[in-house]
Amino acid sequence: MSTITTKDGTEIYYNDWGVGQPIVFSHGWPLDADAFEDQMFFLASRGYRCVAHDRRGHGRSSQPWAGNDMDTYADDLSALVEHLDLRSAIHVGHSTGGGEVARYIGRHGTRRVAKAALIGAVPPLMLKTERNPVGLPIAAFDQLRAGVAADRSQFFKELSLPFYGYNRPGAKVSEGVRESFWRQGMVAGFPASYFCIKAFSETDLTDDLKRFDVPTLVLHGDDDQIVPIAASALLSSKIIKNAKLVVYAGAPHGMCTTLKDRVSSELLAFIKG
């Protein structure tokens, strides 16, 4: 397995497919690099080097108690980029991974970044506050934590339904996709499964978005039941300078899987544009 070791001794696993300009993928919670396998295979087959890591605590990476926060996630990403000496990279982040990309740019700048794409991403802030009235109440995230603590396996099975929009009338449900979601969730460590909820819901990434100075694609489904578009893409696309917002009508949170061909083609057009 390909891994790097961070300064605190955490092993970060990564996939590295293809050759060419690098595209770096940051996955969502509670998944791992496999969540982007469709986009990676598509783009690696078209002349790009696709790199995706399992965030600390997730997938095949170490499961440390500490460091399940956006600052550390961003620093781990930076360590991977530096280790592989990736330059002019396109960074693609889904959900929590979008927050990771935002904090990475906020903390480390765009010296090695050519473009960025945020898909169903959590920025600027998911939590409802006085300054962010369109966010979700803390009770919603307390409910996620309670589900993880009570019966993590059953919780992830049930979460796969709204994640992919499979709870909508007429949805074509793939039990294989649901099982893959459950498998990835269960491979994640219990600490990361629990603590990452605070990281993706309570981290204010507004100032990080203001530091974006590269072409940025903001892609979101307007039927995203996990990261509602009103509190995320509609706001972040206004904060990021010259961001391109593309809204998929009726698309769910997990559209990288349910609409994989469309998302992959959208990314390719953005990268080549």
Q: How is residue 22 written in tokens?
A: 């690098």
Alpha-carbon distance 189 to 222, whole Å? 31
Cβ neighbours of 154 (radius 10 Å): 11
Please answer whether residues 35 and 184 qualify as being in contact, where contact means their C-beta atoms are separated by less than 8 angstroms. Answer: yes
Residue positions annotated with a catalytic role:
95, 224, 253
Q: Measured between alpha carbons, how far is 36 from 32 in angstroms, rounded to an integer? A: 8
Residues 6+ apart with CB under 8 A from 139: none
Here the contacts of 154-159 (C-beta below 8 Å, separation 24 or greater) are 156/30, 156/181, 156/182, 156/185, 156/186, 157/182, 159/185
Phi-psi region of 47 (alpha: psi -120 to 50; beta: other; left: phi over 0): left
CA angle 74–223–119, rounded 5-degree value: 25
**251: amino acid identity, one letter:** A
Residue (of 45, 35, 63, 46) closest to 253 by Cα position: 35
CA angle, 137 then 188 then 218, to 5°: 55
In order of 139, 154, 166, 273, the CA distances from 175 in angstroms are 29, 15, 10, 36
Residue 230: is it exposed, middle or buried by C-beta count within 10 angstroms (0-12/13-18/19+)?
Answer: exposed
